[in-house]
Amino acid sequence: MESKPNILMERYELGRLLGQGTFGKVYYARSAVTNQSVAIKAIDKDKVMRTGQGDRIKREISVMKLARHPNIIQLFEVMATKSKIFFVIEYAKGGELFNKVAKGKLKEEVAHKYFKQLINAVDFCHSRGVYHRDIKPENILLDENGNLKVSDFGLSALVESKQQDIMLHTPCGTPAYVAPEVIKRKGYDGAKADIWSCGIVLFVLLAGYLPFHDSNLIEMYKKISKAELKCPSWFQPEVCKLLGDILDPNPDTRISIAKIKEHNWFKNVPNARNKKPQVENNTVSSSGTIVSDQNNENDGLEAEAKEDSVVPISINAFDIISLSSGFDLSRFFKDNVEKRETRFSSKLPASVIISKMEDIAKQLRMKIKKKAAGLLKLEGFSEGRKGVLSIDTEIFEVTPHFHLVEVKKSNGDTLEYQKILKEDIRPALQDIVWVWQSDQQLQSQLSDQQLQIHDQQQQQSQS
């Protein structure tokens, strides 16, 4: 006789045990509604409260809700019974990165891919004021496509939990991966401590063993404090240089994530160095050398964009009302709605607005793509914290001499978009903008404009 499936909260069908930790177990599960595979972390509530770890669980929930990134395990929802707390999280089919490293060192191009994804995830966390503090291969998972997913934020710190001197004071993490300043217990910068741990992970991926290790914990701490790095013979010189900059025992001179991203080894796939360069946006001169065409890439894109003409969309009173905050239903479906768009009105022709946006795109070195339905797209050339930034500018014609323009982020990192909007787009548009409007102002102002149009039409018909 077949046993009935174990259905949790009438929503998830529990499957095999994936792992076990200090406060509970992790199970494979499948949604009874969508059939989606998930992992469910079942935490013993009594054990958490008995050991005084309630704040740790709350912090982990807060951090996972805040840190949404392709290379970070996603938290879908939290449920609870009288005795258990359940985290429903993204299922990483590939298991722990540790299992791969346990078999030996990885190929340089594979290690490069994982390290790049790790740095992108950690950089995103830091931009949100989150410091992981326990980065190690056991806390890094892989999905079914072999992409890295940072997990286990139980020891993380939020910027709000810092003391007034902007330093963290709680020593935590796994001994072999902790930074020297954490061991000294004198206060440390969470971002710089995370960077050190990322360096240890990179060394382990490439070497198959730890750079500072000893069976005696005190001796291992001494080695970490001295940070006398010895790279294996198979390491590339530029990898050794990068590791030396990351595993700097002095946090004040340790390399930043921004500088890591600028490093030649980080930017270039190792296996591609010996291959002939693919000439796409470059041209070959008569001497046979490759001449970069980067200086003209915006000109080419602009020429491509000019093939299409942007025709503003005509809108009526009903369209204007639908843009107002009273008819925005998104807040009923999302807990935290990101403000991705802003609007302004202009009394200038659409061609002037388009020309101004093209100038901004050139200044920001972004691609320009024109679409027929009043849409102008600006796209970045390089990846940000959440992919390539893409900004849409949509122009609506209320009258031939009055336009409504909506600027919004269609892809990429919201903070990056907001920074560009505040520091570049708004100042550059100030000479053509009649007024930047909130939804409430928009509804009032455009309704008045529509009423004026209606009155004019009535006067014309009477005459």
Residues tagged active-site: 134
Sign of the CA dihedral with 128 first, then 134, 137, and 140 last: negative
Q: How many residues does the chain have?
A: 463
φ/ψ of residue 427, rounded to 5: -60, -40
In the block, residue with structure tokens 């963290």: 168
* Six-digit token string for 227: 């940070």
Question: What is the full DSSP assignment across 406-446?
Answer: EEEEEES-HHHHHHHIIIIIHHHHTTT-SEEE-HHHHHHHH
Q: Three-class SS of residue 375?
A: strand
Residue 241 assigned as binding residue? no
Contact 9, 33 (CB under 8 A): no
Contact 155, 173 (CB under 8 A): yes
Contact 389, 416 (CB under 8 A): yes
Q: How many CA atoms lie within 13 A of 398 on its CB side?
A: 27
CA distance 403 to 350: 7
Q: Return all residues near 153 (Cβ < 8 A) that are at least 6 apart.
A: 59, 60, 63, 64, 67, 130, 132
Task: Count CB-CB contacts under 10 A for residue 144.
Answer: 10
* Six-digit token string for 121: 């995830």
Q: Which residues are annotated as a binding site for ATP?
A: 41
Q: Which residues are annotated as a binding site?
A: 41
